Amino acid sequence: MAIMAPKVHKLLSADALFALVRKALSSLGDHRSGTPDICLADALMSAFALFSLKSPSLLAFDKERTEDNLQRLYGIKRVPCDTSMREILDPVEPESLRPMFKQVFWQLQRGKALETMVFVQGHYLLALDGTGYFSSTQIHCASCLEQHQRNGTVTYAHQLLGAALIHPDKREVIPLMPEPIVKPDGASKNDCERNAAKRFLTKFRQDHPHLQVIVTEDSLSSNAPHIEMLHEHNVHYLLGVKEGDHAFLLQQVTQAEQAGRVTYYERQDAATGAHHRFRFVSNMPLTASHAALRVNFIECWETINSKVQHFSWVTDLRVNKGTVYRLMQGARARWRIENETFNTLKNQGYHFEHNFGHGYQHLSVVFAILMMLAFLVDQVQQLCCPLFQASWAKWGSKRLLWEKMRALFYDYALDSMEHLFRALYYGVKKSAPILDIDSS
């Protein structure tokens, strides 16, 4: 019986995407004057390679930097040393990295891979959530958030608003350009997640004017000004609500129930043994102060093996017995931004919370964004590359896969990422070490 060898996706292979990112980086203007030894694109692509290879530190990466696989696979002409990389990248405006995310996104559209992420009727689920990745009382830069303690000490921190297309039936996420939460130049006040969301939505609509999305967020975002902002940017929403924070809304739901306006629906899933009970009602005022703002309310009790979990959300999407189950699945997929994005970056080999270098201006933010870009390319491989999927299945865990990938990268002369994935999948023929014999 013939065995089908796993293939790579022509448009969306790691090699194709590295070339795309490299080309887009080459078009960025260098902030330095004259003709520097190492061009900006090489420095940025080297940092991208650092995260793509999941090197544990810049020093570990630096030790291997003479390896010519970096030149061949990542298209880097000259790799800077660790100090030089930090110096070149520190003044880079984080916003200048946005086109790389757009390029990969468009390639996903061209390669027909994005449509596999559609949630309902041409709409994608877009999860937004903030996370911290750096905190120190010693190290800081011009863009650090500052927390002044009563005893006079200051805690410096970096956070970002992450954004990713998610799908309830898929582990993969498609991260978009994140919005850094930083102290703006010269500002005395810290930035906050809500302001970052405002900036994010404006830029999101500029980047993707026609993309139909349903934003999912936690219950902190279920407030009138934020929902009005979502409306202004022509996005739908599916947001968590909490009893303690949304007492007015829940009183209105109780009144609607007494008036017989609430609909009930139950569903038993034979395959999982889960039982779902829903209660929903449309056209509810969210708060007393914004009575004109109407939301549709969904409540769900899930029972599995006598264990009951309770959830509630508000949405502008139509809720009925035909849609409520799918909406529940979409709303609960929100955890993928935490689990499959932030936790993967923090605990699955990317070292998101490691300080690769902080810099004085933007270095910490630039590194975080390039790491997200490397993660995006990896997620595309996971979503569309049969050869990557087969290699991952062979090694069982991501951690082991990255470890084996790095070992091959440093030990063998490779032609391409496809060559590397093939070596991961099929194995390599071991050769005896070549020893330098001292003949003196």
| Chain residues that interact with Zn ion, rule: CB under 5 A | 141, 144, 364
Question: Least distance (Å) from Zn ion to the CB of residue 361?
Answer: 9
Comparison of 364 and 379: residue with beta carbon closer to Zn ion: 364
For residue 297, CA distances in Å to 126, 249, 319 come to 19, 9, 8
Map the chain to HEC letters.
Answer: CCCCCCCCCCCCCHHHHHHHHHHHHHCCCCCCCCCCCCCHHHHHHHHHHHHHCCCCCHHHHHHCCCCCHHHHHHCCCCCCCHHHHHHHHCCCCHHHHHHHHHHHHHHHHHCCCHHHHCCECCEEEEEEEEEEEEEECCCCCCCCEEEECCCCCEEEEEEEEEEEEEECCEEEEEECCCEEECCCCCCCCCCCHHHHHHHHHHHHHHHCCCCCEEEEECHHHCCHHHHHHHHHCCCEEEEECCCCCCHHHHHHHHHHHHCCCCEEEEEECCCCCCEEEEEEEEEEECCCCCCCCEEEEEEEEEEECCEEEEEEEEECCCCCCCCHHHHHHHHHCCHHHHHHHHHHHHHCCCCCCCCCCCCCCCHHHHHHHHHHHHHHHHHHHHHHCHHHHHHHHHHCCHHHHHHHHHHHHHHCCCCCHHHHHHHHHHCCCCCCCCCCCCCC
Comparison of 58 and 327: residue with beta carbon closer to Zn ion: 58
For residue 24, CA distances in Å to 11, 17, 69, 416 come to 16, 10, 21, 19
Burial of 383 per CB tally in 10 Å (0-12, 13-18, 19+): buried
Question: Least distance (Å) from Zn ion to the CB of residue 358?
Answer: 6
Comparison of 147 and 339: residue with beta carbon closer to Zn ion: 147
Question: Least distance (Å) from Zn ion to the CB of residue 29?
Answer: 24
Comparison of 146 and 266: residue with beta carbon closer to Zn ion: 146
Question: Least distance (Å) from Zn ion to the CB of residue 31?
Answer: 19
Question: Least distance (Å) from Zn ion to the CB of residue 359?
Answer: 8
Comparison of 144 and 370: residue with beta carbon closer to Zn ion: 144
Question: Least distance (Å) from Zn ion to the CB of residue 248?
Answer: 40
Question: Least distance (Å) from Zn ion to the CB of residue 287?
Answer: 36
Comparison of 134 and 313: residue with beta carbon closer to Zn ion: 134
Comparison of 154 and 407: residue with beta carbon closer to Zn ion: 154
Question: Least distance (Å) from Zn ion to the CB of residue 36?
Answer: 25
Comparison of 133 and 409: residue with beta carbon closer to Zn ion: 133
Report the chain's C-alpha Rg in angstroms. 24
Question: Least distance (Å) from Zn ion to the CB of residue 278?
Answer: 45
Comparison of 74 and 356: residue with beta carbon closer to Zn ion: 356
Comparison of 364 and 381: residue with beta carbon closer to Zn ion: 364
Residues contacting residue 96 through CB under 8 Å, at least 6 positions apart: 28
Question: Least distance (Å) from Zn ion to the CB of residue 82?
Answer: 18
